[in-house]
Structure 1
Amino acid sequence: MPSIIIAEDHSVLRMGVKIIIGAIYPEAYIREADSFYQVLELLREEACDLLLLDIQLPGGGHPRMIAEVREIRPATPILVFSNFDEETHAMSYLKAGACGYLQKTAPPETVQDAIRTVLGGAPWISTPMQSRLLGHFPKSKSTEFSTLSPREFEVMQMMIRGASNPEIKAALNIQSSTLSTFKAKIFGKMGVNNIIELAGKVNAYPVRPETRL
Protein backbone atom coordinates (compact mmCIF):
# COMPACT_ATOMS: atom_id res chain seq x y z
CA MET A 1 0.00 0.00 0.00
CA PRO A 2 1.89 3.09 -1.18
CA SER A 3 1.83 6.28 0.84
CA ILE A 4 1.31 9.29 -1.41
CA ILE A 5 1.04 13.03 -0.81
CA ILE A 6 -0.96 14.97 -3.39
CA ALA A 7 0.20 18.59 -3.20
CA GLU A 8 -2.30 20.61 -5.21
CA ASP A 9 -4.24 23.73 -4.27
CA HIS A 10 -7.31 22.98 -6.40
CA SER A 11 -9.63 20.58 -4.58
CA VAL A 12 -11.35 19.34 -7.75
CA LEU A 13 -8.01 18.40 -9.31
CA ARG A 14 -6.92 16.67 -6.09
CA MET A 15 -10.11 14.64 -6.23
CA GLY A 16 -9.44 13.69 -9.84
CA VAL A 17 -5.89 12.61 -9.08
CA LYS A 18 -7.13 10.52 -6.13
CA ILE A 19 -9.52 8.72 -8.47
CA ILE A 20 -6.73 8.10 -10.98
CA ILE A 21 -4.46 6.72 -8.24
CA GLY A 22 -7.28 4.66 -6.72
CA ALA A 23 -7.77 2.87 -10.04
CA ILE A 24 -4.28 1.31 -9.76
CA TYR A 25 -3.72 1.43 -6.00
CA PRO A 26 -7.14 1.02 -4.36
CA GLU A 27 -5.70 0.92 -0.83
CA ALA A 28 -3.15 3.70 -1.20
CA TYR A 29 -2.68 5.90 1.85
CA ILE A 30 -3.20 9.40 0.48
CA ARG A 31 -2.63 12.69 2.26
CA GLU A 32 -3.40 16.07 0.73
CA ALA A 33 -1.77 19.49 0.90
CA ASP A 34 -2.97 22.77 -0.59
CA SER A 35 0.19 24.81 0.10
CA PHE A 36 3.92 24.15 0.10
CA TYR A 37 4.04 24.97 3.81
CA GLN A 38 1.58 22.13 4.44
CA VAL A 39 3.68 19.79 2.31
CA LEU A 40 6.68 20.40 4.54
CA GLU A 41 4.58 19.89 7.67
CA LEU A 42 3.21 16.57 6.39
CA LEU A 43 6.70 15.38 5.55
CA ARG A 44 7.95 16.31 9.01
CA GLU A 45 5.13 14.24 10.49
CA GLU A 46 5.65 11.17 8.34
CA ALA A 47 7.56 9.96 5.29
CA CYS A 48 5.83 9.03 2.06
CA ASP A 49 6.57 6.80 -0.92
CA LEU A 50 5.74 9.52 -3.44
CA LEU A 51 5.21 13.27 -3.42
CA LEU A 52 3.09 14.46 -6.33
CA LEU A 53 4.03 18.12 -6.28
CA ASP A 54 2.30 21.03 -7.99
CA ILE A 55 5.09 23.59 -8.31
CA GLN A 56 2.57 26.46 -8.43
CA LEU A 57 1.45 25.87 -4.86
CA PRO A 58 1.18 28.87 -2.54
CA GLY A 59 4.58 29.24 -0.93
CA GLY A 60 6.32 27.49 -3.83
CA GLY A 61 6.88 28.26 -7.48
CA HIS A 62 10.63 27.68 -7.73
CA PRO A 63 13.09 24.76 -8.09
CA ARG A 64 14.30 25.30 -4.51
CA MET A 65 11.15 23.47 -3.45
CA ILE A 66 12.93 20.22 -4.30
CA ALA A 67 15.89 21.03 -2.05
CA GLU A 68 13.58 22.02 0.80
CA VAL A 69 11.80 18.69 0.57
CA ARG A 70 15.14 16.85 0.47
CA GLU A 71 16.27 18.59 3.66
CA ILE A 72 13.39 16.90 5.48
CA ARG A 73 13.11 13.62 3.56
CA PRO A 74 16.24 13.05 1.41
CA ALA A 75 14.96 9.85 -0.19
CA THR A 76 11.41 10.98 -1.02
CA PRO A 77 10.62 10.48 -4.73
CA ILE A 78 9.18 13.71 -6.16
CA LEU A 79 7.02 13.76 -9.28
CA VAL A 80 6.38 17.32 -10.38
CA PHE A 81 2.81 17.94 -11.56
CA SER A 82 2.41 21.24 -13.37
CA ASN A 83 0.55 23.37 -15.90
CA PHE A 84 3.87 24.84 -16.99
CA ASP A 85 5.17 23.69 -20.36
CA GLU A 86 7.54 20.74 -19.99
CA GLU A 87 9.99 21.93 -22.63
CA THR A 88 10.40 25.28 -20.89
CA HIS A 89 10.34 24.34 -17.20
CA ALA A 90 11.07 20.63 -16.73
CA MET A 91 14.84 20.83 -16.94
CA SER A 92 15.31 23.12 -13.95
CA TYR A 93 13.26 20.84 -11.71
CA LEU A 94 14.94 17.68 -12.97
CA LYS A 95 18.31 19.32 -12.33
CA ALA A 96 17.15 20.15 -8.81
CA GLY A 97 16.48 16.47 -8.15
CA ALA A 98 12.87 15.74 -9.09
CA CYS A 99 12.27 12.17 -10.29
CA GLY A 100 9.96 13.27 -13.09
CA TYR A 101 7.96 16.10 -14.61
CA LEU A 102 4.33 15.54 -15.54
CA GLN A 103 2.00 18.03 -17.14
CA LYS A 104 -1.54 18.33 -15.82
CA THR A 105 -2.85 18.01 -19.36
CA ALA A 106 -1.52 14.44 -19.53
CA PRO A 107 -4.19 11.73 -19.99
CA PRO A 108 -5.03 9.53 -16.97
CA GLU A 109 -3.11 6.61 -18.45
CA THR A 110 0.05 8.70 -18.63
CA VAL A 111 -0.43 9.91 -15.07
CA GLN A 112 -0.78 6.31 -13.91
CA ASP A 113 2.28 5.25 -15.88
CA ALA A 114 4.36 8.06 -14.37
CA ILE A 115 3.23 7.21 -10.84
CA ARG A 116 3.92 3.49 -11.30
CA THR A 117 7.36 4.25 -12.73
CA VAL A 118 8.45 6.56 -9.93
CA LEU A 119 7.03 4.29 -7.22
CA GLY A 120 8.95 1.47 -8.87
CA GLY A 121 12.20 3.33 -8.26
CA ALA A 122 12.84 4.71 -11.75
CA PRO A 123 12.72 8.29 -13.01
CA TRP A 124 9.88 9.24 -15.33
CA ILE A 125 10.91 11.26 -18.36
CA SER A 126 8.46 11.73 -21.21
CA THR A 127 9.42 10.53 -24.67
CA PRO A 128 9.66 14.11 -26.05
CA MET A 129 11.96 15.11 -23.19
CA GLN A 130 14.19 12.05 -23.69
CA SER A 131 14.47 12.94 -27.37
CA ARG A 132 15.33 16.52 -26.45
CA LEU A 133 18.08 15.40 -24.07
CA LEU A 134 19.62 12.99 -26.56
CA GLY A 135 19.20 15.45 -29.40
CA HIS A 136 21.79 17.78 -27.89
CA PHE A 137 24.54 15.21 -28.34
CA PRO A 138 26.36 14.82 -31.69
CA LYS A 139 24.71 12.20 -33.88
CA SER A 140 27.91 10.19 -34.01
CA LYS A 141 27.88 9.87 -30.22
CA SER A 142 24.16 9.87 -29.37
CA THR A 143 23.93 6.09 -29.71
CA GLU A 144 26.07 5.72 -26.59
CA PHE A 145 23.56 7.72 -24.61
CA SER A 146 20.55 6.07 -26.20
CA THR A 147 21.68 2.70 -24.82
CA LEU A 148 21.35 3.99 -21.25
CA SER A 149 18.12 3.31 -19.43
CA PRO A 150 16.39 6.33 -17.79
CA ARG A 151 17.73 5.26 -14.37
CA GLU A 152 21.25 4.71 -15.72
CA PHE A 153 21.11 8.16 -17.31
CA GLU A 154 20.07 9.65 -13.96
CA VAL A 155 22.83 7.82 -12.06
CA MET A 156 25.38 8.97 -14.64
CA GLN A 157 24.35 12.60 -14.24
CA MET A 158 24.63 12.38 -10.45
CA MET A 159 28.04 10.75 -10.74
CA ILE A 160 29.50 13.44 -12.99
CA ARG A 161 28.06 16.15 -10.72
CA GLY A 162 30.21 14.68 -7.96
CA ALA A 163 27.49 13.07 -5.83
CA SER A 164 28.85 10.51 -3.37
CA ASN A 165 27.65 6.91 -3.26
CA PRO A 166 25.59 7.54 -0.08
CA GLU A 167 24.01 10.61 -1.70
CA ILE A 168 23.07 8.66 -4.83
CA LYS A 169 21.68 5.74 -2.82
CA ALA A 170 19.62 8.06 -0.62
CA ALA A 171 18.30 10.14 -3.51
CA LEU A 172 17.31 7.11 -5.59
CA ASN A 173 16.46 4.78 -2.70
CA ILE A 174 18.69 1.95 -3.94
CA GLN A 175 21.12 -0.48 -2.31
CA SER A 176 24.92 -0.52 -2.67
CA SER A 177 24.81 -3.63 -4.87
CA THR A 178 22.27 -1.99 -7.19
CA LEU A 179 24.40 1.13 -7.49
CA SER A 180 27.47 -0.96 -8.29
CA THR A 181 25.52 -2.72 -11.06
CA PHE A 182 24.41 0.62 -12.50
CA LYS A 183 27.97 1.94 -12.49
CA ALA A 184 29.31 -1.14 -14.23
CA LYS A 185 26.65 -0.90 -16.94
CA ILE A 186 27.22 2.84 -17.42
CA PHE A 187 31.00 2.43 -17.72
CA GLY A 188 30.54 -0.43 -20.17
CA LYS A 189 28.03 1.34 -22.38
CA MET A 190 30.00 4.60 -22.37
CA GLY A 191 33.33 2.87 -22.98
CA VAL A 192 35.12 4.29 -19.93
CA ASN A 193 36.87 2.85 -16.88
CA ASN A 194 36.13 5.39 -14.17
CA ILE A 195 34.17 8.52 -13.24
CA ILE A 196 36.95 10.87 -14.35
CA GLU A 197 36.92 9.40 -17.86
CA LEU A 198 33.10 9.44 -17.85
CA ALA A 199 32.91 13.11 -16.88
CA GLY A 200 35.54 14.03 -19.43
CA LYS A 201 33.69 12.22 -22.18
CA VAL A 202 30.32 13.71 -21.35
CA ASN A 203 31.64 17.24 -20.85
CA ALA A 204 33.55 17.06 -24.13
CA TYR A 205 30.26 16.90 -26.01
CA PRO A 206 28.85 20.27 -27.10
CA VAL A 207 25.84 20.24 -24.82
CA ARG A 208 24.36 23.53 -23.71
CA PRO A 209 24.79 23.85 -19.90
CA GLU A 210 21.07 24.22 -19.30
CA THR A 211 20.41 20.79 -20.82
CA ARG A 212 22.56 18.90 -18.36
CA LEU A 213 20.65 17.28 -15.51
Structure 2
Amino acid sequence: MGDASIRVLIADDHAIVRQGLKAILADTEDLVVTGEAENGVRALQLIRDGGYDVVLMDVNMPDRNGIDTLKLVKKEFPKLPVLMLSMHPEEQYAIRALKAGAAGYLSKQSAPELLVTAIRQVAAGKKYVSATLAEQLAEAITEDDRPPHERLSDREYQTLCMIASGKTLTQIGEELNLSVKTVSVYRARLLEKMKLKNNAELTHYGLKHGLVE
Protein backbone atom coordinates (compact mmCIF):
# COMPACT_ATOMS: atom_id res chain seq x y z
CA MET A 1 0.00 0.00 0.00
CA GLY A 2 1.96 2.98 -1.30
CA ASP A 3 1.45 6.68 -0.67
CA ALA A 4 -0.65 6.87 -3.77
CA SER A 5 -3.47 4.78 -2.23
CA ILE A 6 -6.91 6.35 -2.26
CA ARG A 7 -8.46 5.83 1.18
CA VAL A 8 -12.15 5.02 0.98
CA LEU A 9 -14.89 5.15 3.60
CA ILE A 10 -17.96 3.01 2.87
CA ALA A 11 -21.22 4.17 4.44
CA ASP A 12 -24.05 1.68 3.88
CA ASP A 13 -26.48 0.09 6.33
CA HIS A 14 -26.23 -3.35 4.70
CA ALA A 15 -23.22 -5.40 5.81
CA ILE A 16 -23.51 -7.53 2.65
CA VAL A 17 -23.27 -4.45 0.44
CA ARG A 18 -20.24 -3.21 2.38
CA GLN A 19 -18.58 -6.64 1.98
CA GLY A 20 -19.34 -6.61 -1.74
CA LEU A 21 -17.89 -3.16 -2.23
CA LYS A 22 -14.79 -4.09 -0.22
CA ALA A 23 -14.33 -7.22 -2.33
CA ILE A 24 -14.45 -5.16 -5.54
CA LEU A 25 -11.90 -2.66 -4.20
CA ALA A 26 -9.65 -5.39 -2.82
CA ASP A 27 -8.72 -6.24 -6.40
CA THR A 28 -7.29 -2.78 -7.03
CA GLU A 29 -3.84 -1.63 -5.98
CA ASP A 30 -4.64 2.03 -5.57
CA LEU A 31 -7.95 1.86 -3.68
CA VAL A 32 -8.11 0.80 -0.04
CA VAL A 33 -11.13 0.71 2.29
CA THR A 34 -10.00 2.27 5.56
CA GLY A 35 -13.39 2.73 7.24
CA GLU A 36 -16.97 1.46 7.33
CA ALA A 37 -20.13 3.07 8.69
CA GLU A 38 -23.59 1.55 9.00
CA ASN A 39 -25.40 4.88 9.18
CA GLY A 40 -25.07 8.62 8.56
CA VAL A 41 -24.22 9.57 12.13
CA ARG A 42 -21.35 7.06 12.27
CA ALA A 43 -20.15 8.15 8.82
CA LEU A 44 -19.92 11.74 10.00
CA GLN A 45 -17.98 10.71 13.15
CA LEU A 46 -15.46 8.78 11.07
CA ILE A 47 -15.08 11.60 8.55
CA ARG A 48 -14.41 14.03 11.39
CA ASP A 49 -11.66 11.69 12.64
CA GLY A 50 -10.09 12.20 9.21
CA GLY A 51 -8.02 10.07 6.90
CA TYR A 52 -10.33 9.57 3.93
CA ASP A 53 -9.92 10.62 0.32
CA VAL A 54 -13.33 9.48 -0.96
CA VAL A 55 -16.61 8.59 0.73
CA LEU A 56 -18.95 6.02 -0.81
CA MET A 57 -22.40 6.66 0.62
CA ASP A 58 -25.75 4.97 0.19
CA VAL A 59 -28.61 7.35 -0.56
CA ASN A 60 -30.97 5.42 1.75
CA MET A 61 -29.70 4.96 5.26
CA PRO A 62 -31.72 4.60 8.47
CA ASP A 63 -31.21 7.40 11.02
CA ARG A 64 -30.45 10.15 8.55
CA ASN A 65 -30.70 9.62 4.84
CA GLY A 66 -27.67 9.88 2.59
CA ILE A 67 -28.64 13.20 1.02
CA ASP A 68 -28.95 14.85 4.46
CA THR A 69 -25.65 13.35 5.58
CA LEU A 70 -24.08 14.46 2.31
CA LYS A 71 -25.16 18.07 2.96
CA LEU A 72 -23.63 17.96 6.45
CA VAL A 73 -20.39 16.46 5.12
CA LYS A 74 -20.12 19.10 2.38
CA LYS A 75 -20.74 21.86 4.92
CA GLU A 76 -17.86 20.72 7.14
CA PHE A 77 -15.60 19.20 4.48
CA PRO A 78 -16.37 20.95 1.19
CA LYS A 79 -13.35 19.40 -0.55
CA LEU A 80 -14.01 15.75 0.39
CA PRO A 81 -15.52 13.96 -2.63
CA VAL A 82 -18.65 11.94 -1.86
CA LEU A 83 -19.86 9.34 -4.36
CA MET A 84 -23.49 8.43 -3.81
CA LEU A 85 -24.71 4.86 -4.35
CA SER A 86 -28.32 3.85 -4.74
CA MET A 87 -30.57 0.90 -5.43
CA HIS A 88 -32.91 3.33 -7.12
CA PRO A 89 -32.87 4.19 -10.79
CA GLU A 90 -30.70 7.22 -11.34
CA GLU A 91 -33.38 9.67 -12.30
CA GLN A 92 -34.97 9.51 -8.84
CA TYR A 93 -32.11 10.81 -6.75
CA ALA A 94 -29.14 11.65 -8.91
CA ILE A 95 -29.92 15.26 -9.70
CA ARG A 96 -30.83 15.95 -6.04
CA ALA A 97 -27.60 14.32 -4.91
CA LEU A 98 -25.47 16.33 -7.34
CA LYS A 99 -27.23 19.56 -6.35
CA ALA A 100 -26.51 18.73 -2.71
CA GLY A 101 -22.80 18.50 -3.50
CA ALA A 102 -22.16 14.87 -4.46
CA ALA A 103 -19.12 14.32 -6.67
CA GLY A 104 -20.93 11.54 -8.47
CA TYR A 105 -23.81 9.09 -8.43
CA LEU A 106 -23.80 5.42 -9.20
CA SER A 107 -26.55 2.84 -9.24
CA LYS A 108 -25.73 -0.32 -7.27
CA GLN A 109 -26.60 -2.30 -10.37
CA SER A 110 -23.58 -0.81 -12.16
CA ALA A 111 -20.69 -3.01 -13.21
CA PRO A 112 -17.82 -3.27 -10.67
CA GLU A 113 -15.32 -1.63 -13.02
CA LEU A 114 -17.56 1.45 -13.18
CA LEU A 115 -17.31 1.78 -9.40
CA VAL A 116 -13.51 1.70 -9.59
CA THR A 117 -13.49 4.28 -12.40
CA ALA A 118 -15.92 6.50 -10.50
CA ILE A 119 -13.85 6.44 -7.28
CA ARG A 120 -10.64 7.26 -9.13
CA GLN A 121 -12.36 10.04 -11.03
CA VAL A 122 -13.86 11.78 -7.98
CA ALA A 123 -10.61 11.32 -6.02
CA ALA A 124 -8.92 13.27 -8.81
CA GLY A 125 -11.33 16.14 -8.23
CA LYS A 126 -13.63 15.41 -11.16
CA LYS A 127 -17.34 14.63 -11.22
CA TYR A 128 -18.60 11.20 -12.18
CA VAL A 129 -21.90 10.54 -13.92
CA SER A 130 -22.93 7.68 -16.17
CA ALA A 131 -23.82 8.26 -19.81
CA THR A 132 -27.55 7.82 -19.07
CA LEU A 133 -27.39 10.33 -16.27
CA ALA A 134 -25.41 12.81 -18.34
CA GLU A 135 -28.28 12.71 -20.82
CA GLN A 136 -30.85 13.34 -18.09
CA LEU A 137 -28.82 16.24 -16.73
CA ALA A 138 -28.69 17.78 -20.18
CA GLU A 139 -32.48 17.50 -20.37
CA ALA A 140 -32.88 19.02 -16.89
CA ILE A 141 -30.76 22.00 -17.95
CA THR A 142 -32.89 22.46 -21.04
CA GLU A 143 -35.98 22.49 -18.84
CA ASP A 144 -34.56 25.59 -17.18
CA ASP A 145 -35.09 27.30 -20.49
CA ARG A 146 -38.85 27.17 -19.91
CA PRO A 147 -40.67 30.48 -20.42
CA PRO A 148 -40.28 33.01 -17.57
CA HIS A 149 -44.03 33.11 -16.78
CA GLU A 150 -43.83 29.49 -15.56
CA ARG A 151 -41.57 30.65 -12.74
CA LEU A 152 -44.08 33.12 -11.33
CA SER A 153 -46.14 32.52 -8.21
CA ASP A 154 -49.89 31.94 -8.74
CA ARG A 155 -50.78 35.49 -7.73
CA GLU A 156 -48.07 37.00 -9.96
CA TYR A 157 -49.27 34.85 -12.85
CA GLN A 158 -52.90 35.99 -12.34
CA THR A 159 -51.76 39.61 -12.24
CA LEU A 160 -49.74 39.10 -15.44
CA CYS A 161 -52.72 37.67 -17.33
CA MET A 162 -55.05 40.41 -16.13
CA ILE A 163 -52.69 43.29 -16.98
CA ALA A 164 -52.02 41.70 -20.37
CA SER A 165 -55.76 41.59 -21.03
CA GLY A 166 -55.94 45.35 -20.41
CA LYS A 167 -57.21 45.52 -16.83
CA THR A 168 -56.07 48.34 -14.53
CA LEU A 169 -54.50 47.72 -11.12
CA THR A 170 -57.73 48.94 -9.49
CA GLN A 171 -59.85 46.46 -11.47
CA ILE A 172 -57.41 43.64 -10.69
CA GLY A 173 -57.51 44.58 -6.98
CA GLU A 174 -61.30 44.43 -6.98
CA GLU A 175 -61.39 41.08 -8.76
CA LEU A 176 -58.76 39.44 -6.58
CA ASN A 177 -59.94 41.13 -3.39
CA LEU A 178 -56.59 42.82 -2.89
CA SER A 179 -55.51 46.39 -2.31
CA VAL A 180 -54.09 48.33 -5.27
CA LYS A 181 -50.82 48.55 -3.34
CA THR A 182 -50.57 44.74 -3.13
CA VAL A 183 -51.37 44.35 -6.82
CA SER A 184 -48.65 46.86 -7.70
CA VAL A 185 -46.18 44.83 -5.61
CA TYR A 186 -47.08 41.71 -7.65
CA ARG A 187 -46.71 43.74 -10.84
CA ALA A 188 -43.26 45.01 -9.80
CA ARG A 189 -42.16 41.49 -8.87
CA LEU A 190 -43.33 39.88 -12.07
CA LEU A 191 -41.78 42.62 -14.24
CA GLU A 192 -38.49 42.03 -12.44
CA LYS A 193 -38.66 38.23 -12.71
CA MET A 194 -39.53 38.45 -16.39
CA LYS A 195 -37.11 41.28 -17.14
CA LEU A 196 -39.85 43.45 -18.63
CA LYS A 197 -40.05 47.24 -18.28
CA ASN A 198 -43.70 48.21 -18.45
CA ASN A 199 -47.32 47.18 -19.12
CA ALA A 200 -46.90 47.48 -22.88
CA GLU A 201 -44.07 44.92 -22.89
CA LEU A 202 -46.06 42.78 -20.52
CA THR A 203 -49.12 42.85 -22.80
CA HIS A 204 -46.95 42.02 -25.80
CA TYR A 205 -45.48 39.04 -23.87
CA GLY A 206 -48.97 37.87 -22.86
CA LEU A 207 -50.23 37.94 -26.44
CA LYS A 208 -47.10 36.24 -27.78
CA HIS A 209 -47.43 33.36 -25.28
CA GLY A 210 -51.20 33.05 -25.61
CA LEU A 211 -51.89 34.11 -22.01
CA VAL A 212 -54.58 36.61 -22.96
CA GLU A 213 -58.08 35.23 -23.45
Please confirm whether the aligned pair reaches a TM-score higher than 0.5, indicating the same fold: yes
1:34 aligns with 2:19: no
| 1:6 alignment partner, SS class | strand
- For residues 13 and 136 of structure 1, the distance between their equivalents in structure 2, rounded to whole angstroms, comes to 31
Task: Give the Cα–Cα distance (whole angstroms) in 2 for the partners of residues 55 and 135 of structure 1.
Answer: 23
> Paired residue for 1:187?
none
Q: How far apart are 1:70 and its partner, in Å?
A: 1.8
Pick closer, same or farther for the CA change 1:108–1:71 going to 2, 3 Å.
same
Query: Equivalent residue for 1:95?
Result: 99
Asked whether the equivalents of residues 95 and 137 of structure 2 are also in contact (C-alpha less than 8 Å), the reply is no
Deviations 1:163-209 (A, max 9, x none): xxxxxxxxxxxxxxxxxxxxxxxxxxxxxxxxxxxxxxxxxxxxxxx
Aligned to 2:127: 123
2:12 paired with 1:8: yes
Unaligned runs of 5+ in 1: 139-213
TM-score of the aligned structures, taking structure 1 as reference length: 0.60
Partner secondary structure for residue 128 of structure 1: helix
Range with bigger deviation, 46-55 or 65-74 = 65-74
Structure 2 residue runs of 5 or longer lacking an equivalent are: 143-213
Cα-to-partner distance string for 1:6-61 (whole Å, 9 max, x where unaligned): 00111111111011112123662520000111001101111410000012112222
| Alignment of structure 1 residues 176-195 onto 2, 5 Å | none
Cα deviation digits, residues 80-127 of structure 1 (max 9, x gap): 011122012110110011001111111111111111211222100110
SS in 1 for 2:27: helix
Identity, in percent, stands at: 31
* Structure with bigger RCO (C-alpha 8 Å, 6+ apart): 1
Q: Is the CA contact (8 Å cut-off) linking 1:79 and 1:99 kept in structure 2?
A: yes
The equivalent position to 1:53 in structure 2, one of 40, 50, 57, is 57
| Corresponding residue number in structure 1 for 2:82 | 78
Shift of 1:5: 0.4
Change (3 A) 1:71 1:108: same
Report the residue type matching 2:12 in the other structure.
E
Give me the whole-angstrom Cα distance separating, in 1, the residues matched to 2:54 and 2:71.
15
Tell me what 2:25 maps to.
21
| Count of matched residue positions in the alignment of Structure 1 and Structure 2 | 139
User: 1:64 offset after TM fit, Å?
Assistant: 2.6
Structure whose alpha-carbon radius of gyration is higher = 2
Contact between 2:98 and 2:104, CA under 8 Å: does it hold in 1?
yes
**Structure 1 pair 26–130 and aligned structure 2 pair: CA distance change class (3 A):** closer
Q: How does 1:137-152 map to 2 (within 5 A)?
A: none
Cα distance in structure 2, aligned partners of 1:90 and 1:27: 24
TM-score (norm 2): 0.60
SS of 2:56's partner is strand
Label 1:134 to 1:71 Cα distance change in 2 as closer, same or farther (>3 A): closer
Counterpart secondary structure, 1:63:
helix
Alignment partner of 1:89: what SS? helix
